[in-house]
Amino acid sequence: RKLREVNFYQFIARKKSGNNEVSVIMFTFFPIDDDHNLIILAKRDVTSTLEYDILTGGRNRIGFLHLVQQRLRNSTSTDEYSMVFFNIQSLHHINVLHGITAGDTVLQHFYSTLGNSNLQPVAYARVEADHFYALVPRSQVTEDNIHSLCRLETTYKDKTIPYHCVCGIYHLTSLKELPANMCGKANVAANFVNDPFNKPWKEFDEELSKRYISDSEVIDRLDQALANNEFVPYYQPIVNVRTGRIEMAEALARWISPEYGFVSPGYFIPSLEKHGGVSRVDMSIANQVFELQRSRLREGKNAVPIDVNVSWVDFGDASFVNNLINHLQDEEVTSDLCRYEITESTISELSESNSKIIDLFKQYKAKLLIDDFGQGYSFSTMRDLDFCIVKLDKSLIDKLGTNRKADLLVDTFIGMFHKMGAKVVAEGVEKLQQVEYLRRVGCDYIQGYYFYRPMPQSEFIALLDKEAEMQPIQEEKASEQVWVEREILEAQYDQLKKSNEEAA
Ligand code: C2E
Ligand code: MG
Ligand code: MG
């Protein structure tokens, strides 16, 4: 019938041979003589053309899985190979800042670097967007070999473009496992990288798999979770470095889910940023913080500024922006009490594409903090923005005391931001030596487990109430007094800390 209608008929079929190899065959029919009902059938094996990626010239997903199957067929031991997964982190920024062709250059560069690397892959491919997989001899999976692939640079039109990746590693446990599952496990492991600059890789274990919530699960449950108020702020107090007193706090989102239990933002914010919905969560957190501040003021209690995190995606959402303007215009809860933390990477997005937001911040006198400073974007992007506080990232603080340059860097940044009229918070402070150094070099505030972990609202309120009862500290005498007071404080809050730690 089709031949009569259009004079041509074609279809593709997948053929599985005895050893489970799949090939793809294209059948094409042409009528050549209607009188005698003669037809030509052309049959062509198109497996190889469907298995290649045009951008890199290497295999694509189908081709890669096929090749892995072939390589493993000759393997006798499960210890022989590992599956590694690389996810390029900064591709979105590169596309925005330098254009799509520059992004393509990065992808091609990573593909060839991976192929020629010391990992010596026996199969490797760009499987989708900026995701690469490689089957590599297990003996080649060393920290150095992985690390050297996680921080790279290439050139595009005489410009150097640095980029970085995170990596997930799965050491094969069975040769019978489907290659797609091996890839899935390497991918899950990469989601648990929590220090992408210092340790950008993670090895898979079954425990990770239990804790992993896939992007689609987060997205599917979002409406219901918002309706049930499952996203709540936890508060991490930030203390004055000289007095040890709480002078502000950061609100950090937690998802208290009936299915998954207590979920940290690292497990759901990236999914929501990628697939949409983060601004609805951010708005919910900002509104809850706002309500807390309003009720403290109405009850005549002490209130400290609370910072909420905003994501660059939020600024593309009209209802988030309107909500933000409403908060900024409120006369009771002034903009000093509800402030916004934006990361260096968000700022580069804003100044490139959305200067209206910067104008809006200025117009409504929003109080902005620069979050995670030191994670590696450019200073120039900070020029246009009025910010009151810069938060030095934990990766800078972790290095304190390890070498002279690391110490000098923090000292210099503090001096520089003071000259710009901003205060400085050190994030992720866990040790007394770090506190002492930061105090010596004039850092203003400290946020970190050394003082307080993030805590639920009820505990935070109790802590603020206790803090209000304490005697004020004179700053001149503070240096000696604080450390005595700290001990008293610590004793007082021991109980509180213990329950915090349990919650964390
Ligand atoms: P961030 O804004 O830089 O928040 C600081 C993170 O460092 C928090 O992790 C905090 O618990 C952790 N931290 C603080 N002190 C220490 C310490 O001494 N040691 C260690 N190891 N960690 C410390 P958390 O709560 O898991 O948040 C992770 C990130 O998730 C945040 O980093 C922020 O970027 C994002 N996030 C959190 N809440 C929200 C939110 O409501 N909206 C958006 N868009 N992002 C959020
Ligand atoms: Mg923050
Ligand atoms: Mg931070």
Residues 392-446: pLDDT tens digits?
999 899 999 988 999 999 999 999 999 999 999 999 999 999 999 999 999 999 9
Helical pair 355-363 and 344-353, crossing angle rounded to 10 deg: 110
Residue-wise pLDDT for 72-108, tens only, equals 998 888 889 999 999 998 788 888 888 899 999 999 9
Write down the mean pLDDT value for the chain. 88
Residue 486 pLDDT class (50, 70, 90 cuts):
very low
| Residue of 360 and 310 predicted with greater confidence | 310
Q: For residue 169, how far is the Cα from the chain centroid?
A: 18
pLDDT at residue 125, rounded to an integer: 97
Whether 60 has a pLDDT exceeding 50, the answer reads yes
Which one of 309, 342, 373, 455 would you pick to mutate in the ligand 1 pocket, going by the greatest count of ligand atoms within 8 A of its CB? 309
Measured CA to CA, the distance from residue 433 to residue 388 in angstroms comes to 27
- Surrounding ion ligand 3 within 5 Å at CB are 371-372, 427
Phi-psi category of residue 459: left, alpha or beta, with phi > 0 → left and psi -120 to 50 → alpha: alpha
pLDDT at residue 261, rounded to an integer: 86
Instruction: Calculate what percentage of the chain has a pLDDT beyond 70.
Output: 90
Ligand 1, CB cutoff 6 Å, lining residues: 236, 252-253, 264-266, 269, 278, 282, 285, 309, 311, 341, 371-372, 427-430, 447-449, 454
Whether 385 has a pLDDT exceeding 90, the answer reads no
Q: How crowded is residue 27: how many other Cβ atoms within 10 Å of its Cβ?
A: 13
pLDDT at residue 357, rounded to an integer: 78
Instruction: Calculate what percentage of the chain has a pLDDT beyond 90.
Output: 60
Residue-wise pLDDT for 242-275, tens only, equals 988 999 999 999 999 998 888 889 889 988 988 8
Measured CA to CA, the distance from residue 189 to residue 180 in angstroms comes to 14
What pTM does this model have? Answer: 0.69
Looking at the DSSP bridge assignments, the partners of residue 118 are none
Measured CA to CA, the distance from residue 22 to residue 49 in angstroms comes to 14
Which one of 197, 199, 269 would you pick to mutate in the ligand 1 pocket, going by the greatest count of ligand atoms within 8 A of its CB? 269
Q: Which residue has the tokens 């489907």?
A: 178
In three-state form (DSSP H/G/I as H, E/B as E, the rest C), the secondary structure along 168-237 is EEEECCCCCCCHHHHHHHHHHHHCCCCECCCECEEECCHHHHHHCCCHHHHHHHHHHHHHCCCEEEEEEE
Measured CA to CA, the distance from residue 48 to residue 72 in angstroms comes to 19
pLDDT at residue 474, rounded to an integer: 60
Which one of 230, 250, 252 would you pick to mutate in the ligand 1 pocket, going by the greatest count of ligand atoms within 8 A of its CB? 252
CA of 254 to the centre of ligand 2 (A): 13
